[in-house]
Structure 1
Amino acid sequence: MASAICSYLPELLCKFPSIDENLMREFKKTVDIGFKAFVRNYTNFIDVVKQPLQWFLNSLESFFVNTPWFIILVLMVAIVWLASRNIKITIGAALSMMAIGLVGLWQDTMVTLSMVTVCTLISIVIGIPVGILMARSDRIQGIVNPVLDVMQTMPTFVYLIPVVMIFGIGKVPGLIAVVIYAVPPMIRLTNLGIRLVDKEVLEAADAFGSSPGQKLRNVQIPLALPTIMAGINQTIMMSLAMVVVASMIGVGGLGKNVLQAIANQFFTVGFLNGFSLVAIAIIFDRTSQAYGKRLQKHTEVIHG
């Protein structure tokens, strides 16, 4: 029926008008050549930027991988207990990590754990200041929000193209791709948490003569901490999700094993590595949620 209708209409109304193919081809070629030239011209600067990230990631990975397993296990259990103060979560974390070790995936899990830790720390360092700026200025929020929308909705594989072109193949490019994907919830929830602080509390702080900096440090951030912790939780979850995709450009660990299992149709290998990723995600999720609830109760007591 559609073809019958188009037979009575001009071609312009039936076929959406597009830019000339030759013109588009030249435009794409010009942009690609210009981007490659930019990367070549600033190779030394890019290497300088990569170096601290490479050193930090390699150092943490070396610590996780080369430290005896029982020390890492004790440290993890201690951190989970101190954060959650929940015996069930602590025992669950210990049993999950022991199960990962028993199936021979301890070292790969440590590699993934180091990557997620670095990505989370970088996301926190970037996300909290940007979120604070957004909370203080509606204009900055109006500028940053569309950028965050693009970062969250763009297909994850698209991130890899410019990252690989600029930084090449390796762990640092994978780290940067993961951070780009994982940092938006940290920014959004920091902004939200500070904006949700009760105006009456802020007015009381003003009445006591608090400066903007004092008000931020002593009132807004402490009261917004539960929401900020939710942002950290989401950042960790998104980092773990992106690690598998980032393995395509040289990030090792569990993500690499999952990709190899997909390529070779190894169900058991894929399941075990997937189980390990899920176990880490659940440990982080339950621990950060429990810590967030403790902070919530603490702030409610202070606020009350």
Structure 2
Amino acid sequence: MDGFRIPIGDGIASAVDWAKDNLEGLLDVVAMVVRFLVDGLTDMLVATPFAVTVVLAALLAWYVRSWALALGTVISFFVILGMDLWVPAMQTLALVIVAAAVALAIAIPLGIWSARNDTVGAVMKPILDFMQTMPAMVYLIPAIVFFSIGVVPGLVATVIFSLPPGVRLTELGIRGVESETVEAGQAFGASSGQILRGIQLPLAMPTIMAGVNQVIMLALSMAVIAGMAGADGLGKLVVQAISTVDTGDGVEAGLGVVLLAVFLDRVTAALGNPHDYPGSLRNVLATRRLERRRAATAEAESASAPDQLVGA
């Protein structure tokens, strides 16, 4: 067996070199679009006054979950500002938002396709296993070959790494819809698209939102690795702290990532399960609207009762 070797790596390297030489125009377009999206969102987040950002984030947290999360969001953002990490935090947030949006735009349709086609599901499973178990830093190598150093390879690697949970949980949610419910829709003459939009997607939404949550969390966990590729943000500060063995700067940058992760996790989790948080502003307002409707209905019924008695 001496000297026996399967040249898998050589084949992949050749394929990467071929793609770089023959798809240069497409790669340039991808790089231009990614830079436009990330830089544009970063500029918008950084240009927005801190007070406005804090108020909007706190209102969102209160609306979807609770006043306690709103208070925690305010404290967290002030801690980030106090560590002088506001701009890197917004750079990281912009990268995560764009990467998660791209990953979900790919993952949700693939998950729906896999759920509605057993052959596609069987093919997708080993591919997703490979994507999820491959060390994340490996994705940086071809990404850097294609796009050089900067935010683009970091975002591409982030999209690839964070995509599998979105596909899996979308497929799980669609497949988890009871067959009797789907058959009832078919019995009423609903088309396949109507069943998907009106039955399967609404019932699968909590599971799909769990996938959205996982995609965002994995995208944020790639912040440090994206920093290795030269992407600006908290990850780049962590990499710099590692290179200079600066414990203080490393802990501060890592804490910034944690605070962003907690905010994004709690908000997206609440979006997927709104009924689990009765204290949210959304549910409080919905309850008050329902009470007003019931009161109006009762008042209308009581007002019509004398008229009915007179008519009798």
Fold match (TM-score > 0.5) = yes
Task: Give the TM-score, by structure 1 length.
Answer: 0.86
Q: What residue number does 1:244 align with?
A: 224
1:49 has 2:39 as partner = no
Pick from 211, 218, 223 the counterpart of residue 203 of structure 2: 223
Pick from 63, 66, 71 the counterpart of residue 44 of structure 2: 63
Aligned equivalents of 2:259, 2:19: Cα separation in 1: 42
What secondary structure sits across from 1:178 in the alignment?
Answer: helix
The change in CA–CA distance for 1:183 and 1:256 in structure 2 (over 3 A counts) is same
Q: What residue number does 1:179 align with?
A: 159
Unaligned runs of 5+ in 2: 279-312
Contact residue 189 and residue 227 of structure 1 kept, 8 A:
yes
What secondary structure sits across from 1:251 in the alignment?
Answer: coil
Pick from 126, 130, 137 the counterpart of residue 157 of structure 1: 137
1:110 has 2:90 as partner = yes
Q: What residue number does 1:98 align with?
A: 78
How far does the alpha carbon of each residue in 1:204-245 deviate from its partner, in whole angstroms, 9 at most, with x for none? 111211111011001100000100111011111111111101
The change in CA–CA distance for 1:285 and 1:158 in structure 2 (over 3 A counts) is same
Give the residue type in structure 2 aligned to 1:166.
F
Aligned equivalents of 2:276, 2:112: Cα separation in 1: 20
Contact residue 225 and residue 295 of structure 1 kept, 8 A:
no
Aligned equivalents of 2:12, 2:119: Cα separation in 1: 31
Q: What residue number does 1:74 align with?
A: 55
Unaligned runs of 5+ in 1: 1-16, 299-304
Q: In the TM superposition, what is the alpha-carbon distance from 1:267 to its structure 2 partner? A: 1.1
1:168 has 2:148 as partner = yes
Q: In the TM superposition, what is the alpha-carbon distance from 1:112 to its structure 2 partner? A: 0.4
1:142 has 2:122 as partner = yes
Q: In the TM superposition, what is the alpha-carbon distance from 1:291 to its structure 2 partner? A: 2.2
Aligned equivalents of 1:160, 1:196: Cα separation in 2: 35
After TM superposition, the runs of 4+ consecutive aligned structure 1 residues lying more than 3 A away are 18-21, 27-35, 295-298
Aligned equivalents of 1:256, 1:210: Cα separation in 2: 52
1:294 has 2:264 as partner = no
The change in CA–CA distance for 1:44 and 1:275 in structure 2 (over 3 A counts) is same
What secondary structure sits across from 2:189 in the alignment?
Answer: coil
Aligned equivalents of 2:259, 2:277: Cα separation in 1: 27
What secondary structure sits across from 2:222 in the alignment?
Answer: helix
Aligned equivalents of 1:229, 1:295: Cα separation in 2: 14
What secondary structure sits across from 2:232 in the alignment?
Answer: coil
Contact residue 226 and residue 296 of structure 1 kept, 8 A:
no
Number of aligned residue pairs: 278
The change in CA–CA distance for 1:297 and 1:269 in structure 2 (over 3 A counts) is closer
Q: In the TM superposition, what is the alpha-carbon distance from 1:59 to its structure 2 partner? A: 0.8
The change in CA–CA distance for 1:65 and 1:18 in structure 2 (over 3 A counts) is farther
Contact residue 109 and residue 276 of structure 1 kept, 8 A:
yes
1:285 has 2:268 as partner = no
The change in CA–CA distance for 1:38 and 1:214 in structure 2 (over 3 A counts) is closer
What CA RMSD, in Å, does the superposition of the two structures yield over aligned residues? 2.0
How far does the alpha carbon of each residue in 1:12-31 deviate from its partner, in whole angstroms, 9 at most, with x for none? xxxxx15457x95xx86676
The change in CA–CA distance for 1:240 and 1:200 in structure 2 (over 3 A counts) is same
